[in-house]
Amino acid sequence: MPGIPGFEGVPRYRELVDRLIAEDAKFVPPGLILELDRYEWSFLKRELWWASGPAFVAANVGNFGRMQINNPAGSNRLVVVRGMLGFGGAIGDQYDISTDGALIVAGVLANTALDARVPLNNAATLRPVASTNAVANNLPATSGIVLERTREGPDDIAHMNIPFVILPPGGRVEMTQRLANTGATFLAWGYERAARAEELAA
């Protein structure tokens, strides 16, 4: 391990410097800012950027379509959702971003890593990460705590405008299309990393 003072309590920074510079490094080169770093360095810190891929939910009479991003209980990871979008209705249609909604248990899929260094799964169809996504059309109202209401704009897309949502293990966030009996397509993206015990307690 490097003998850099102050790294004792931040193992993921120490691990990055070990692998990026040298295990016997005595200092961090000037200008290397560890939290404003290059995307390809995320892999060295065990951070994984991911995307859900497009997820379509069919229309269902009387109910809203929604997409949920879930950090499974027991994952021991932090999941940061950086964006969600939805489309399929018309200009002005409303969408909610909410947390702690009813868990979707059917059709759950792993999100896929954006870094091709993550191994493919056995079916060679994605590079799985811990976080998952699912869609459903079984509720007549938004589920959970509403953080934001947004609308489809002139580009026929509704965007999440809040900058991020942080999900501890067991946490989830979703985007709900607030027009019943309407099909919709959703997409979400963000990153995740291993969590330390003190990061999971208030």
Same domain membership, residue 170 and residue 128: yes
Q: Is 88 contained in some domain?
A: yes
What is the percent of the chain with per-residue pLDDT over 70, rounded to a whole number?
A: 93
Whole-angstrom CA distances from 155 to 59, 85, 88, 90, 173 are 21, 12, 11, 10, 24
Instruction: Tell me the three state secondary structure of residue 178.
Output: coil
pLDDT (average), residues 1-25? 69
> Is it the case that residue 2 has pLDDT exceeding 70?
no
Q: Is 3 contained in some domain?
A: no
Same domain membership, residue 167 and residue 96: yes
Same domain membership, residue 129 and residue 33: no
* CA-based radius of gyration for the chain: 19
pLDDT digits (tens, 9 = 90+) for 80-131: 999 999 998 888 899 999 999 999 999 999 999 999 999 999 988 899 999 9
The pLDDT value recorded for residue 103 is 97
At 26, the pLDDT band (50, 70, 90 cuts) reads confident
Same domain membership, residue 124 and residue 54: yes
> Is it the case that residue 7 has pLDDT exceeding 70?
no
> Is it the case that residue 1 has pLDDT exceeding 50?
no
Same domain membership, residue 39 and residue 60: no
Same domain membership, residue 28 and residue 101: no
Same domain membership, residue 125 and residue 33: no
Domain span at residue 29 reads 11-45
User: Tokens at residue 104, please?
Assistant: 């979707």
Q: Is 1 contained in some domain?
A: no
Q: Is 6 contained in some domain?
A: no
Q: Is 99 contained in some domain?
A: yes
The pLDDT value recorded for residue 8 is 62
Mean pLDDT estimate for the chain: 90
Same domain membership, residue 132 and residue 151: yes
**Number of domains making up the chain:** 2
> Is it the case that residue 3 has pLDDT exceeding 60?
no
Q: Is 143 contained in some domain?
A: yes
Q: Is 159 contained in some domain?
A: yes
pLDDT digits (tens, 9 = 90+) for 181-197: 999 999 999 999 999 88
The pLDDT value recorded for residue 14 is 76
